[in-house]
Structure 1
Amino acid sequence: MRNKQLVGVSMIALLALLTSCRKGGEDMTGTKTTITVENVLDSRPLVQSGTFQNSGEVPVILPGEAVSLAFSAAKGQAVSFAAMYGWSNDLFFAPANPGIALYSEDGMPMEGDVSSAIKLWDNGTRINQAPGESVTHPGMAESAPKPVMEVSGTDEQGNSYAQASTMLKATLKYDGNSMFTLTITNISGNTANATPFSPGVWAISYIAGGDLLSPNPLYETDKPTANGLTELAEMGDNSVLGSHLAEQTGIFTPLSPILVVVYRGSENPLYKTGEKDRGKGLKALAQTGDASMLAAYLKTVDGVREVYVLPAENTTVLLPKIGDQPGSRVSQQLQVAKGDRLAIATMYGFSNDWFFASKDNGVDAMQKGDVSASIGLFDNGTAANQFPGAGITQVNLAGTPLEESKAIEPVPNPNAFTTLPGISDMLNVTLH
């Protein structure tokens, strides 16, 4: 009889154990899975670039004529441009590297006449004739190409030139919200070196960690000409160098440490589109990349089982691909069960308040494989947007956000500033 009672107790205990492994009729037996998140963005060093020419009947910029360029920039960034001194063999105008400074040391936008930054340069591929309308193009080639060098007063053949700033006037105007207009005016008619300017090119480099990614976007002093500058300097053809710059222009952004949450329920605990930020820490993640406040809050939410914040080794942020260097990646082993959902969030680092996150109600935590298609890019609605990677109020560019209060919405693509790659071309999320 006693043995039967023990068997009965054992059966009750077993049933209790099985019941404890079930919640809401679902199997709570755990299994191990690993989430890996990688920044797979094939980054570019230039945030903006373009070409310019006269909008009149001819593309060249004659004495007395002007062209204007519009662009966005953050503190530390500079704008560079190049245009041929038309009545020369291979001379061109350009600012000294890295370009024209756009903000003062205290962060005030530069305005007014910035012509003093402009220099006259020799491309080093043609023997210079006396400048003027009678110059033969392209002229006699140098027996051995020389490096790019500044022409200050006279060239190697003894030809004389007025100062670049007396031939080309450059004027900056700040248009607000990190936007500038640069106007280039041909004032050479007032000098002994009257000349048309050719169509040109312009570029602005990303800045990361206080350093420009491309501090010499158009040329390098004392180094051979490259990338289509010869076509510009000899013939005024900006197409080759313009195409090269276009290939170097695009997206560069790190990702903040990855927030991972495993939870149960019918709603994503991180956010909901159409609603404003809940004030639980998502704002800090979206504006500064700090997930600590949101992670602490999530640990108090019913149904949340696990919360992780995953920084990249050495760098903390997940850097994109840079040249041959692969992008950063992080991994975390998780204990999940049937019925668990999984969601992530990370800041689009060079933005005001954009963040990547799992769409809708995340993904089934038990599934395996690439789940990158479940990720979207969202605007948190708590900071005024600027050109990503070129905004003076972006925290990761040493700025202070301009507060606003809007509902969380997907970031359009293309958006008001640029066209982004597809989500899966920026980050990869895998469960394995």
Structure 2
Amino acid sequence: MSRFAKIGLLPAIVAVPFIMTACKKDNPPGSGAPQLETITVENVLKSQPLVESGTFQGTGSPALILPGQSTTVTFSAAKGEALSFATMYGWSNDLFFAPANPGIKVYDDNGNPIEGDVSGQVKLWDNGTRINQQPGASVNHPGTADSKNITEVAGTDAQGNTYLPASRLVSATLKYNGNSSFTLTLKNNSGGTANETPLSPGVWTVSYIVGGNLLLPNPLYTAGQPTAHGLTNIAEMGDNSALWAYVQTVTGIFTPLSPILVVVYNGIDNPIYKVGELDRGQGLKYLAQRGAADTLANYLKTLKGVRNVYILPAPSSGVLLPVIGSTSGSKVSQQLSVKKGDRLAIATMYGFSNDWFFATTGNGVDATQTGDLSTSIQLYNDGTAVDQFPGAGVTQFNLAGTPLVENQPISVVPNPNAFTTLPPIPNIIKVNLQ
């Protein structure tokens, strides 16, 4: 199975395994003068670096996590992705607990889920915005302002106050729920110690991994740098609202699209798929699971009524990347020779899924029309692989996984779905015919 080349984009290296081939079938003889049209397909998704995020808190009012109490976070993750979080050491001026970046590792190097005690990955940090008083219930908030960078508190702070290891004060336990879902339990174990403290409501995140690199490896803070994005509100006051507001702006969808399969046909139904039918075993499964369109394209070339078949890979990368920051999404174009009565259909994989694909609805579109065809595109589930959170599934092929087989009819992917809410399809894929 070939894999497309790595692409340098921002700090991330994108490498997703889609087949990059192209083929064409000569027009059969027919009546009517041909006309030239150009199809253009573009990934217009304004991508975000975090696949999931959320908040946590205690059960009381205020919603603190008191000594002896615990809280849980349930999340999904693919191999290489990690969970980060931040919560205030309540009886301090500006200290917070968080894992070292990029977060708590949830799979081992073989892709096996990690379960049990992971408290050793929890650290205590100084936000650098207040002079530290001796920690305890009598701390004067907010205290004297300071302007230092974030540093780890390993035994003593800058003022000489002493602390037990963070893992003695906050325990973290992972449980694997199956199908790439985990539950993290955080428990406040500080009761009766010299560092007894409540914990504040907090924020948690999971970053996308693309080509082996996390898109946001420092989601909540960066050691050795000034605090940012509302973390100070947690560290000084236990208020997670500002950091949560920021995190929501960088949480959302990231997916490439596989090389675009384009079919021109006449006198037959859409030859790619039909809703309610099982995958026909003609190659759609490979497109939907791996982004590999060549098997299906080669089959379509043999069908009576199919006039032309194209596979359109993006330049350099093969795949159509989304909008990343100020970098535009990928775009591909192909000139078509079409006649009156011809129909046109496309298909492309939702790259960070188990077996979702975008395709022209129904019996395609009139190949001689012009304009924006994006509203004629729908997202479908091929029904050949068990679904997981898109972009956070350990068995997703383009995240180095092996899909889990299922055998369900092809169906429309609902929105919202069991995992997330997607943008409107025209905000992900744009199709134009001129």
Q: What range is the shorter-chain TM-score in?
A: over 0.9
Q: Which residue of 2 aligns with 1:75?
A: 79
Q: Which residue of 2 aligns with 1:221?
A: 223
Q: CA deviation at 1:191?
A: 1.8
**DSSP-derived class of the 1:181 partner:** strand
- Describe how 1:31-430 pairs up with structure 2 within 5 A: 31-142=35-146, 145-430=147-432
Cα distance in 2 for partners of 1:321, 1:306 equals 30
Maintained 8 Å contact 1:45/1:250: yes
Cα distance in 2 for partners of 1:42, 1:266 equals 36
Cα distance in 2 for partners of 1:75, 1:284 equals 22
Cα distance in 2 for partners of 1:57, 1:220 equals 31
Q: Deviations over 1:396-416 (max 9, x none)?
A: 010000000010000000000
Once superposed, which parts of structure 1, at least 4 consecutive aligned residues long, lie more than 4 Å away? none
Unaligned runs of 5+ residues in structure 2 are 1-28
**DSSP-derived class of the 1:188 partner:** coil
Q: Deviations over 1:209-243 (max 9, x none)?
A: 01000000000010110000011100000000001
322-331 or 47-56, which moves further after superposition? 47-56
Q: Could you tell me the TM-score, scaled by structure 1's length? A: 0.93
- Counterpart residue identity of residue 169, structure 1: S
**DSSP-derived class of the 1:233 partner:** helix
**DSSP-derived class of the 1:276 partner:** coil
Cα distance in 1 for partners of 2:268, 2:394 equals 39
Cα distance in 2 for partners of 1:158, 1:369 equals 69
Q: Deviations over 1:328-352 (max 9, x none)?
A: 0000001011111000000000000
Q: Deviations over 1:7-39 (max 9, x none)?
A: xxxxxxxxxxxxx752xxxxx210111000000
Maintained 8 Å contact 1:286/1:347: yes
Cα distance in 2 for partners of 1:418, 1:130 equals 44
Cα distance in 2 for partners of 1:243, 1:121 equals 22
Maintained 8 Å contact 2:268/2:305: no
Cα distance in 2 for partners of 1:175, 1:261 equals 42
- Counterpart residue identity of residue 248, structure 1: V
**DSSP-derived class of the 1:116 partner:** helix
**DSSP-derived class of the 1:189 partner:** coil
Maintained 8 Å contact 1:166/1:191: no
Cα distance in 1 for partners of 2:243, 2:104 equals 19
Q: Deviations over 1:96-152 (max 9, x none)?
A: 00000000001110000000001100000000000000001111101xx11111011
Q: Deviations over 1:175-210 (max 9, x none)?
A: 111110000000011421000000000000000001
Cα distance in 1 for partners of 2:112, 2:30 equals 62
Maintained 8 Å contact 2:278/2:407: yes
Maintained 8 Å contact 2:347/2:360: yes
**DSSP-derived class of the 2:336 partner:** strand
Q: CA deviation at 1:55?
A: 2.1
Cα distance in 1 for partners of 2:188, 2:112 equals 27
- Counterpart residue identity of residue 379, structure 2: L
Overall identity of the aligned pairs, in %: 66
Q: Which residue of 1 aligns with 2:34?
A: 30
**DSSP-derived class of the 2:232 partner:** helix
Cα distance in 1 for partners of 2:258, 2:141 equals 53
Cα distance in 2 for partners of 1:426, 1:21 equals 36
Count of paired positions? 406
**DSSP-derived class of the 1:315 partner:** coil
CA RMSD of superposed structures (Å): 0.8
Q: Which has the larger radius of gyration?
A: 1
Cα distance in 1 for partners of 2:39, 2:209 equals 31
Maintained 8 Å contact 1:87/1:195: yes
